[in-house]
Amino acid sequence: MAFRVSNMQDGKKLPALLLIFLMISSVLMVNGDQEIELQEVISTEIYSSSGNNTTNGSNSSVNSTLTITSPQNYSDVHGSHGVIIYYSVQNYTGTLYWNSTTVLTNGSILTNSGTSIAYSNTSNAGQNQGNFLYFYFSGFGNNTVCIEIPFGEHDCVSFNNYYVPTSIEILSPINNQIIYSIYGKNSGSINISLSNYSSGSININLTNHDNSYSNSWNGYKNTRFGNFTGTITPIYDGMNNGNYTLCITLNTGHSDCVNYTRINFEPSISITSLQNGDTLNVNSNSNISVDYTLSNYSGSIVWELISSTTNSSAISWYDSAYLQTSSSSQRNLTTTIPGYSISFNDNFQLCASLNYVNYSSCVNITILLPPSKVRITSLTNNSVITMPLFQNNYVDFLDLTAIVENYTYNYVYWNISSSNLNNSFQSWSDYVYSSNNSNLYSSHYRRVGFGNVTVCASIVSFSNNSINPNNVFSDCKNINVIPRQVEASIISYQNLSNSSNFNSINLEYFANNYSNGEITVNGNRATYLSKKFNNNTSNNTDYTISYYHFNYGNNVICLELFSEDNSLTTECVNYLIPHPVVRINVISPVSQTTILGNEIQILYSTENYSGYISWSIDGNQVRNSYSSNSVSSITLNSNSFGSINICGSINLSVQNNSSQNSIDSCFNVNLIPKTLEGYLISPNSTYTNSNSLNIAYWASNYTYGEITVNGNNYYNLINSSSWWNNNNSAASNNSVSIYLSYGNSLVCLELYGQNNSYLVDCVNLFRNIPNHVAQIDSPLNNSSFVGQIISVSYTLQNSSNHYFTINGNAISNSTTNISNLQFNVPFGNNYFCLISFDYANQQYSDCISVENIDPNLDSDGDGISDLSDNCPNTPISDTADSTGCGQSQIDSDGDGVMNSMDNCPNTMPQQSVNAQGCSASQRDSDGDGINDSTDLCPNTLPNAIIDSNGCSTSQIDSDNDGVNDDVDICPNTFVGSQVDSNGCAPSQKDSDSDGIADSFDQCPNTPFNTVVDSTGCDISSSGSSNETSDSDSEGLPGFQVSLLIVSTIFAAIIISKRD
């Protein structure tokens, strides 16, 4: 026999070899007449899964190690295709080898191996490197995978892969169930039981076998290697009667189907407040109120008034009904929308129909409306109009007003027929409306022209309205409109100036009966004349105006008037003014004067000229000034410095018959720019607690300046003479008070001077920010409340603004610090936050999560509200007790098996049970009459005779020789003896039947019936044999056997201690 020895440590190898040699020696001593040769003791590797072995890898300078980290040894793996094996390597870079052994569930053994499956590349010796390889299953069973560094370290892992089946079962509706419902509601929900499904999508198909209705939709549930029991979707069956088949199919092909029948209670509706033949006398804005009864229906009610004349719907409307037994519907019969109102007398059928259901209730009624009339009230027939209205520059407008009675169509149609309008015929419609059943008025201002005019107003006539003789559908008026005669004349004009100046006069004129007019001078309007219509000529008066802006030379003055029919009447006179000599005299500055700065103050006068003077600097026009023959002044600003040329010019080319075209006066000055100066004087400290701070500064010779805070203009420094320092002496200090916001602020003095000079001086200031506190004091985070009201107590300190949010939505924005508030929030989990801003506008928040519990919510529909329900997910098929628990949720004896599955309901505490809830003291697994708790032989064959311990003779080995009593022909074998398959030791066998047991028989093959001695040898030859026997027969009989037994026991003890 051969032994294989692994890489054992030195402390274990020597005792093991010693024991092996002791056992071999015992065998040699027993078989003294044979030579036993020890054929092989091989130091080959037996793979170990310790993960701590070391050897020399390709990096020979250090030890290499390999350890499998996942999956765990002896674990269960549920992968359907394979598993990823992770391992770590130290101090090795190169190719790894792997091999595997799989024991399939059918008993077959598969092996596999590979190379170059994974690589571990490390840049530095001693660096850990994570690796993995894909191991694909060849079937379900036990697997052992080993990974090895060539000629070095290895590690192994064993794991079990088994299949978990996928299943689907429809729990509700129950197969062949009858579901009673009403129109407008679904038949309930779909409840399923689902196991080991990872695809997620669930396909649902529904078919009504009594009509063509079918529907398909999807649900979603992922329960890989687990179970799900509950609702997935409602039943979308179209709410129709019929026999249905509901099927659910998984993407894996698994499916389940049930049949059910839906029976809807018969719906009904009945109109109760109106009877056939009723007549309704209504005014123009009457409402109709209809009472009705309804049963077994939830949805829309369609109301319709159908005209017997048009055989079509005159009015329709909808009501929503939800299982009412009685109610009423109201409708305005004469809305302002055509097609949605009753506009004439008629017989109608009023019907109420249930939407999508063939049920209705109808009554025949008559609706009578009052007579309709229209009257023009603003005109009298055959009247003469001498004073038409003035509007939009025309004087042939009239106010046209009509009254309409009992009219619901709401449109009045007007037309005007006139011989002298541009459009000889005008027509328009007018929308009229009244909300209080009063008469309707149509009123307009319209042009009618002059001469004979016909004005008509009419309303729509319906055939059924003609039965009322009091109806008046149109009204017309004939009138005569007379235009007016314009009166216009210039009476006189008089010079208002002295003899040397003729540019102003008083004009006296007369004007009457005109719509508009004007007085013009040289074709330009001098004044506008508003309309004047005076029928009493004895009261006419003259009018006088003054005018001052005549040109030199000839001037034409005209009175122009327009009549009512837009004809023009003109009256004109001529007025002549001679041309004078014009001059410009510059008084100061004198030419070649030197000026500090860029401002030039000019003092000047004109002769014989009143008007505008154009001033230019170096040929560029800069300003205009107005002069009127007196001393005047103007200030010019130059954009350049040094020697500049200044000119004043008068343009006389616009004056008729003038002997001069233009007048110019020029001079030169020398400009020197001023020096820009300025700086901040205070504050000295950069930190402050105050919101107001006084900024002192000094500034001189600037054209513009400002104080800025954080780059924004805060205060403007206006350019004035006080800021100019003409002699460069010290200017006085100035100050301004500024408001500082919290935090950092940059305050700057910015100055702009002449010749594009710029100066800035800044200081950094910091206003201290008060400590800000914003916290929710109560409720605490993760608190629960019954109801939708939560009371919030919070603390705010130094907050500029704050508000609250629930689930990210702002619900309150308050500038007060009320520390206790109540909020109405939705049921469920809510995220509540206090948002606050400190005085520097930095945002802070404090948030809590709260749960608001609906006191009436019964999630599992077991009749017990969630607040009192100790078992929140009671199945629909289970009946719950007062605590909300069904038998599938109660474990009365506390053995871990629910009552609905417990076959042994009264198991004693602390006892282990099987899946049926039975402990060993409650079950007899092998049916031998002895409970498992006291049965020493749990798998006794049926009908076997047993003892008080539950054991049959086929399960007992009384002499502990390894052979059960039912086949042991040597029942009292000495302890430790080696036996054969019949349970007999050599000391109990006599193979040659010579009366000497084999263990003492030195002549084992003695012929039958031979007389032998105590050694089992033929007595006739025992004398010479004893004298000549060799050393192999020496010693005590049976000593070799005893030595073998003692050696075996000693070896077993040593090995068990080593393990």
Q: pLDDT tens digits for 200-221?
A: 789 999 999 988 889 999 988 8
For the CA atoms of 822, 824, 826, 829, the dihedral, rounded to the nearest 10 degrees, stands at -10
Average pLDDT over residues 100-110: 82
190/174 Cα distance (integer angstroms): 10
Residues 6+ apart with CB under 8 A from 900: 878, 886, 887, 888
Q: Span 583-672: which CATH code?
A: 2.60.40.10
Comparison of pLDDT for 785 and 43, the residue scoring more = 785
What secondary structure does DSSP assign to 612-635, as a single string? EEEEEETTEEEEEEEEESS-EEEE
Q: Tell me how crowded residue 200 is: count the other CB atoms within 10 A of its CB.
A: 14
pLDDT tens digits, 397-453: 888 888 887 776 678 888 888 876 666 567 888 887 655 556 777 888 888 888 889
* Domain coordinates in residue numbering, the chain: 141-194, 487-532+541-577, 583-672, 677-719+731-767, 773-853
Domains 677-719+731-767 and 773-853 share a fold: yes
3-state SS string for 409-449:
CCEEEEEEEECCCCCCEEEEEEECCCCCCCCEEEEEEEECC
Comparison of pLDDT for 473 and 469, the residue scoring more = 473
What fold, for 487-532+541-577? Immunoglobulin-like (2.60.40)
Amino acid, single-letter form, for residue 350: L
pLDDT tens digits, 147-165: 888 877 888 999 887 766 7
Strand stretches in 652-757, DSSP E: 662-672, 677-682, 687-688, 692-700, 704-709, 712-717, 734-739, 743-752
Q: With 0-12 CB in 10 A as exposed, 13-18 as middle and 19+ as buried, what is 894? A: exposed
Q: Is the pLDDT of residue 258 over 90?
A: yes
Which residues are registered as beta bridge partners of 332?
287
pLDDT tens digits, 578-588: 777 788 899 99
28-37, 128-137, 734-743, 791-800: least confident range? 28-37
Strand order in the sheet with 568-577: 524-529, 516-521, 553-562, 568-577
Average pLDDT over residues 521-527: 88
Which pLDDT belongs to residue 654?
A: 58
Average pLDDT over residues 937-941: 82
744/767 Cα distance (integer angstroms): 7
The CA angle 721-727-729, to the nearest 5 degrees, is 95
Confidence of residue 1044 (pLDDT cuts 50, 70, 90): low
pLDDT tens digits, 272-330: 888 898 887 765 556 677 888 888 888 888 888 888 878 888 788 888 877 666 677 76
Report residue 47 as tokens.
Answer: 């793979």
Amino acid, single-letter form, for residue 831: Y
DSSP assigned state of 582: -
748/760 Cα distance (integer angstroms): 7
378: left (phi over 0), alpha (psi -120 to 50) or beta: alpha
| Per-residue b or e along 229-263, where b marks 16 or more CB atoms closer than 10 Å to that residue's CB | bbbbeebebbbbbbebebbbbbeeebebebebbbe
Which pLDDT belongs to residue 955?
A: 75
Average pLDDT over residues 720-745: 66
Residues 6+ apart with CB under 8 A from 77: 71, 83, 143, 159, 160, 161
For the CA atoms of 7, 12, 13, 14, the dihedral, rounded to the nearest 10 degrees, stands at 170
Confidence of residue 995 (pLDDT cuts 50, 70, 90): confident
Q: Which of 118, 124, 67 is nearest to 91 (CA)?
A: 124
Q: With 0-12 CB in 10 A as exposed, 13-18 as middle and 19+ as buried, what is 165? A: exposed
Q: Is the pLDDT of residue 997 over 50?
A: yes
Q: With 0-12 CB in 10 A as exposed, 13-18 as middle and 19+ as buried, what is 963? A: buried
Which pLDDT belongs to residue 128?
A: 36
Q: Which of 334, 299, 287 is nearest to 314 (CA)?
A: 334
Which pLDDT belongs to residue 169?
A: 92
CB of 664 closer than 8 Å to CB of 609: no
957/970 Cα distance (integer angstroms): 11
Report residue 475 as tokens.
Answer: 């009204």
750: left (phi over 0), alpha (psi -120 to 50) or beta: beta
- Rg (C-alpha) for the chain, rounded Å, is 61
Q: Is the pLDDT of residue 260 over 90?
A: yes
Highest mean pLDDT among 29-38, 370-379, 517-526, 683-692: 517-526
Q: Span 677-719+731-767: which CATH code?
A: 2.60.40.10
Helix (H) or strand (E) segment spanning residue 567: none
Confidence of residue 957 (pLDDT cuts 50, 70, 90): confident
Which pLDDT belongs to residue 59?
A: 43
Which pLDDT belongs to residue 692?
A: 85
3-state SS string for 759-781:
EEEEEEEEECCCCCEEEEEECCC
Report residue 554 as tokens.
Answer: 């000839």
pLDDT tens digits, 740-773: 888 888 999 999 988 888 999 999 888 888 899 9
Which pLDDT belongs to residue 717?
A: 87
156/52 Cα distance (integer angstroms): 11
76-80, 304-308, 338-342, 478-482: least confident range? 338-342
* Half-sphere exposure (Cβ direction) of 673: Cα atoms closer than 13 Å: 15
Q: Of 1.10.620.20, 2.60.40.10, 3.40.309.10, 1.10.760.10, which CATH number belongs to 773-853?
A: 2.60.40.10
Which residues are registered as beta bridge partners of 446?
398
Q: Which of 50, 26, 47 is nearest to 36 (CA)?
A: 26
